[in-house]
Chain A
Amino acid sequence: NAGVTQTPKFRVLKTGQSMTLLCAQDMNHEYMYWYRQDPGMGLRLIHYSVGEGTTAKGEVPDGYNVSRLKKQNFLLGLESAAPSQTSVYFCASSYSRYGANTQETQYFGPGTRLLVL
């Protein structure tokens, strides 16, 4: 059971380049999330998905797009990278939005460090 995995682990981009971050989970979770973590900050929600084929905006969605074509995968895209998008990106998944501990706890991937020059 791998849990939540993220690809790649580290990437350097030039301003204006595009890339896609891949998140995969093998826990059959319905809900998936993308967060970013900047120095001195907690995590902030970029986009999330409540099921296959559905996505929604979080707190800081500008400059990002997402897709959830398969239940186990959640993709985060940067169409035209900017230095302000230099950050650590975390994917997370949960069985449910709310409920008891085992249902709503979000489990995180190892993160992707992105540097935009």
Chain B
Amino acid sequence: AQKITQTQPGMFVQEKEAVTLDCTYDTSDPSYGLFWYKQPSSGEMIFLIYQGSYDQQNATEGRYSLNFQKARKSANLVISASQLGDSAMYFCAMRGWGGADGLTFGKGTHLIIQP
């Protein structure tokens, strides 16, 4: 079984600053995938970024990057140059071996960007 821990229930950040959202995971699977999703107040789940456990490089997608430290079992999301539109809930999730049980989600971090 997998477990995702997000230790920051809420964060306030000034606009244009960089943001790091923490995520640690626990699994005994040899292969897994890590995801970050954004959920704005409108409620939809928006895929942001993916990291495979065997990927040698940290994933990047525009202003999003994933700081993957396999030995520490952490997969932190970094948002550069934050914008007001980044205010939302952010969920870290993982897929275990074979993906048979869907994704395991953390409880999320509520990010608020202040002007």
Q: Interface residues, chain A, CB within 8 Å of chain B?
A: 31, 33, 35, 40-45, 48, 50, 56, 58-59, 88, 90, 92, 96-98, 100-101, 104-111
Size bracket, chain B contacts:
20 to 34
The residue from A42, A92, A96, A109 contacting B106, defined by CB atoms under 8 A apart:
A42
The residue from A35, A101, A110, A111 contacting B102, defined by CB atoms under 8 A apart:
A35
**A44:B99 contact, CB within 8 angstroms:** no
Bound CA span A113–B112, Å: 24
Given A90-B45, A97-B100, do A104 and B105 touch, yes or no (CB 8 Å)? no
Q: Interface residues, chain B, CB within 8 Å of chain A?
A: 4, 31, 33, 35, 37, 43-47, 50, 52, 59, 91, 93, 95, 98-103, 105-108
**A42:B102 contact, CB within 8 angstroms:** no
**B43:A105 contact, CB within 8 angstroms:** no
Q: Which residues in A have their C-beta under 8 angstroms from that of B99?
A: 31, 96-98, 104
**A42:B91 contact, CB within 8 angstroms:** yes
Expressed in whole angstroms, the minimum distance between the Cβ of A74 and any Cβ of chain B is 13
**B105:A105 contact, CB within 8 angstroms:** no
**A45:B98 contact, CB within 8 angstroms:** no
Expressed in whole angstroms, the minimum distance between the Cβ of B84 and any Cβ of chain A is 22
Q: Which residues in B have their C-beta under 8 angstroms from that of A44?
A: 105
* Contact sample, A vs B, 25 pairs, CB 8 Å cutoff: A31-B99, A33-B102, A42-B93, A42-B108, A43-B45, A43-B93, A43-B103, A48-B101, A56-B100, A58-B101, A58-B102, A88-B43, A90-B45, A97-B98, A97-B99, A97-B100, A98-B31, A98-B98, A101-B52, A105-B35, A105-B47, A106-B35, A107-B47, A110-B43, A110-B44
